[in-house]
């Protein structure tokens, strides 16, 4: 990234960060607003708002007009995290106690609901009439999709016959659609044509698939887990990931099959069993298989991105996407 690009990227990051200052003005009831302030004390990577703003800029849209809708998407994303943590009974998020652990589940539910309402208010504040319907429909559909995806994920907990197609449908709804709609929102704000929006949709969909597969892979292979993640957490919690689905297909040795059966029977493994499972997965080259799938998504994204005219925002969008593929947590 050259100096001009770095300066512009930092400017956009600052614009996004400054948008969250409104949280400091919210005071009472403190048992709802304090958890939200706590949640945003540690700044996230802001992947989704960056995708919105850079997509809009790449297609000639007004960055100022894309800012509040972009931040609303980040608020919606964090709403899903609060509720996901309650559903999954997670103790840690970004290296700190989750809201429902630091306070309680009632506070977590209500503060999450409040964050969702703030997200809707935020997006309505600055969305213009010429794209209002598309932006709001996309935003609302993202909420529906995330809930449906979480529903499928919960259903998978009690099944041992989850298929590859079912898994990818689940992660598309739970993870991919919000990323896809982040990019489409940028397109709507920039008044992109149907073909341009279809390209953005394809990029977002492939990025969503890759993002979740990376999460599945990093859970088992990260050398230095960050933000409170524990290696093998998905195995302990009994998550039916793509990796486990491929293990069911590829494991042939009796010891491998026995351990996989324990995973299904007990809805997860004990902590002292995860290293052996990781070794079996590696022995069967399942991690390599996942990496190849991720690389195929990246190639598709780059090919589609190259269909757009060159400008600084396209360069920054490519940089942002590359950063996602290079992340280690």
Quick: pLDDT tens for 98-110.
999 999 999 999 9
Give mean pLDDT, residues 129-157. 90
Note whether residue 227 is domain-resident.
Answer: yes
pLDDT at 227: 46
pLDDT at 228: 52
Q: Which residue has the higher pLDDT, 90 or 76?
A: 76
Sorting pLDDT into bands at 50, 70 and 90, what band is 230? low
Note whether residue 329 is domain-resident.
Answer: no
Could you tell me the two tokens for 297?
């998504």
Residue 264 to residue 84: CA distance in whole angstroms: 22
Q: What is the mean pLDDT of the chain?
A: 92
HEC letters along 169-180: HHHHHHHHHHHH
Q: Is the pLDDT of residue 303 over 60?
A: yes
pLDDT at 310: 96
pLDDT at 26: 78
Give mean pLDDT, residues 254-279. 96
Sorting pLDDT into bands at 50, 70 and 90, what band is 221? confident
What CATH number corresponds to the domain at position 170?
Answer: 1.10.600.10
Among 291, 145, 289, residue whose Cα is nearest residue 210: 291
Residue 261 to residue 134: CA distance in whole angstroms: 47
The model's pTM: 0.93
Sorting pLDDT into bands at 50, 70 and 90, what band is 123? confident
pLDDT at 126: 67
Note whether residue 199 is domain-resident.
Answer: yes
Note whether residue 328 is domain-resident.
Answer: no
pLDDT at 281: 98
Q: Is the pLDDT of residue 125 over 90?
A: no
Give mean pLDDT, residues 155-160. 92
Domain limits at 212? 3-323
Sorting pLDDT into bands at 50, 70 and 90, what band is 229? low
Alpha helices in the chain (DSSP H): 3-19, 30-41, 47-58, 63-88, 99-102, 105-126, 132-156, 164-171, 177-189, 194-221, 233-237, 242-250, 254-265, 274-283, 286-305, 312-326
pLDDT at 92: 81
Sorting pLDDT into bands at 50, 70 and 90, what band is 128? low
Split into its structural domains, the chain has a count of 1
With a CB cutoff of 8 Å and minimum separation 6, the contacts of 311 are 57, 58
Q: Is the pLDDT of residue 10 over 50?
A: yes
Q: Is the pLDDT of residue 22 over 70?
A: yes
Give mean pLDDT, residues 279-302. 97
pLDDT at 94: 77
Give mean pLDDT, residues 267-285. 96
Note whether residue 190 is domain-resident.
Answer: yes
Among 139, 159, 22, residue whose Cα is nearest residue 72: 139
Among 66, 70, 324, 67, residue whose Cα is nearest residue 178: 70
Q: Is the pLDDT of residue 38 over 80?
A: yes
Note whether residue 19 is domain-resident.
Answer: yes
What percent of the chain shows pLDDT beyond 70? 96
Residue 137 to residue 69: CA distance in whole angstroms: 12
Give mean pLDDT, residues 49-76. 94
């Amino acid at each position: 990234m050259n100096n001009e690009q770095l300066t512009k990227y930092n400017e956009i990051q600052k614009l996004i960060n400054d948008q969250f200052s409104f949280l400091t003005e919210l005071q009472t009831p403190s048992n709802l607003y304090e958890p939200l302030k706590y949640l945003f004390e540690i700044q996230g990577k802001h992947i989704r708002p960056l995708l919105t703003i850079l997509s809009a800029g790449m297609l000639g849209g007004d960055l100022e007009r894309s800012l509040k809708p972009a931040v609303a998407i980040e608020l919606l994303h964090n709403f899903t995290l609060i509720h996901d943590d309650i559903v999954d009974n997670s103790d840690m998020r970004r290296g700190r106690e989750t809201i429902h652990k630091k306070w309680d589940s009632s506070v977590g539910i209500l503060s999450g609901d409040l964050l969702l309402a703030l997200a809707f208010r935020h997006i309505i504040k600055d969305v213009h009439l010429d794209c209002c319907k598309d932006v709001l429909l996309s935003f609302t559909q993202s909420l529906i999709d995330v809930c449906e995806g979480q529903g499928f994920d919960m259903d998978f907990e009690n099944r041992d016959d989850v298929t590859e197609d079912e898994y990818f449908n689940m992660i598309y709804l739970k993870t991919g659609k919000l990323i896809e709609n982040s990019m489409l929102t940028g397109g709507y704000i920039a008044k992109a044509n149907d073909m341009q929006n279809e390209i953005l949709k394809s990029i977002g969909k492939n990025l969503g698939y890759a993002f979740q597969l990376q999460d599945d892979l990093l859970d088992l292979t990260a050398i230095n887990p960050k933000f409170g993640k524990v290696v093998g957490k998905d195995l302990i919690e009994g998550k039916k990931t793509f990796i486990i689905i491929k293990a069911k297909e590829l494991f042939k040795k009796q010891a491998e099959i026995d351990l996989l059966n324990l995973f299904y029977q007990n809805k997860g493994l004990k902590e002292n069993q995860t290293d052996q499972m990781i070794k079996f997965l590696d022995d069967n080259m399942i991690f390599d298989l996942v990496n190849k799938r991720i690389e195929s998504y990246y190639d598709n994204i780059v090919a589609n991105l190259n269909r757009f005219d060159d400008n600084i925002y396209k360069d920054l969008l490519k940089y942002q996407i590359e950063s996602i593929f290079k992340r280690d947590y």
